[in-house]
């Protein structure tokens, strides 16, 4: 099985490194300075605690050609980079499966239009990885998890095959019955966190002590979920409904817990790439909201913080 990981940021590099460690035939697409660093130093995986550092030799590719044949392409890019990648993916006629691993509020419409519905899968990395210079840092002892979904829902034969491949490489795999809905619901969590983080001057300690900001987070999340429910989109995972049930007196405590969730920590970063992706997602969610008649003052406030931040 031949796999191409399209994108050599922290998530893509971690995926390529872990798949390469398991002896799978994996190639990593990288460009510019990152390509030069990988050519010289390989993929370097290091635990946050500094206990273990691994160098993995992974073949590198600078550009995906029309005839380059892979069984699977994993697109590990921020949503703000999809428009640049889609023409190359569409021109490639030799790869039957393209898995987009990341945030997406807009849905798979443009991917389906350019690639064909039968080629597109959606997913999300439920682990944290950060790029520190040339090294990819990750948490020791934490089993990386991937969430995957087929556009037709359910666990198809193709998903079962991918699940076996990733589990064989040490990943925990969760199959979502409606990955498009899951991604929209995930955005209803991360956008309020990102907007409140910017509002607090990108100071996490300050944010965690600001009750008004914490209450704003919960209000914006509830409004976002309200948009999703109004559009008859399933709320996934179902435990997100707890957000609507939190008593007002406990909203600050609940929001503070969300700030500590490892799978949400990536939005509490000051990097321009992360913030640019949040701006794209915020605009996409506003498009979603525009198809309803709901008033969402808290969500609008955090959206404005993201756009101006």
pLDDT of residue 309: 82
Mean local confidence (pLDDT), 109-120: 97
CA separation for the pair 302, 30 (Å, rounded): 33
Determine what percent of the chain is predicted with pLDDT higher than 90: 85
Mean pLDDT of the chain: 94
Residues in a beta bridge with 60: 28
pLDDT for 87 beyond 80:
yes
Residue 51 neighbours by CB under 8 Å, 6+ apart: 140
CB contact at 8 A, 75 and 100: yes
Question: Hey, CA dihedral for 15, 16, 18, 19, is it positive or negative?
Answer: positive
CA separation for the pair 217, 195 (Å, rounded): 8
pTM for the model stands at 0.95
Q: pLDDT for 34-73, tens place per residue?
A: 999 999 999 999 998 777 889 999 999 999 999 999 999 9
CA separation for the pair 130, 52 (Å, rounded): 15
Helix (H, G, I), strand (E, B) or coil at 303: helix
- CA–centroid distance for 291 within its chain: 24
Higher pLDDT, 309 or 184: 184
**CA–CA distance from 48 to each of 45, 138, 163, 189 (Å)?**
10, 6, 27, 25
Mean local confidence (pLDDT), 216-240: 96
CB contact at 8 A, 18 and 143: no
């Amino acid at each position: 099985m031949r796999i191409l990981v399209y994108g050599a940021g922290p998530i893509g590099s971690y995926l390529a490194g872990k798949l390469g460690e398991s002896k799978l035939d994996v190639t990593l697409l990288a460009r510019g300075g990152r390509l030069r660093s990988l050519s010289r130093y390989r993929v370097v995986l290091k635990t946050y605690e500094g206990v273990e550092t691994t160098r993995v030799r992974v073949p590198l590719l600078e550009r995906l050609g029309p005839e380059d044949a892979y069984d699977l392409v994993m697109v590990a890019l921020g949503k703000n980079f999809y428009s640049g990648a889609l023409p190359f993916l569409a021109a490639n006629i030799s790869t039957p499966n393209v898995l987009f691993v990341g945030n997406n509020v807009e849905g798979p419409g443009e991917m389906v239009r350019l690639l064909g519905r039968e080629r597109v899968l959606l997913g999300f990395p439920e682990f944290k990885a950060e790029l520190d210079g040339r090294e990819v840092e990750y948490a020791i002892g934490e089993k990386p998890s991937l969430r995957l979904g087929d556009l037709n829902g359910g666990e198809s034969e193709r998903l079962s095959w991918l699940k076996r491949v990733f589990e064989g490489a040490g990943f925990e795999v969760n199959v979502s019955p409606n990955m498009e809905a899951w991604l929209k619901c995930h955005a209803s969590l991360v956008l309020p966190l990102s907007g409140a983080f910017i509002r607090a001057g990108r100071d996490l300690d300050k944010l965690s002590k600001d009750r008004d900001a914490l209450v704003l987070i919960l209000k914006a999340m509830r409004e976002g979920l309200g948009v999703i429910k109004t559009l008859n989109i399933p709320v996934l995972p179902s435990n997100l409904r707890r957000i609507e049930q939190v008593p007002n007196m406990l909203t600050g405590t609940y929001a503070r817990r969300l700030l500590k969730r490892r799978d949400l920590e990536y939005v509490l970063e000051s990097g321009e790439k992360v913030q640019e992706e949040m701006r794209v997602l915020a605009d996409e969610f506003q498009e979603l909201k525009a198809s309803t008649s709901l008033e969402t003052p808290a969500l609008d406030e955090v959206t404005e913080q993201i756009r101006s931040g």
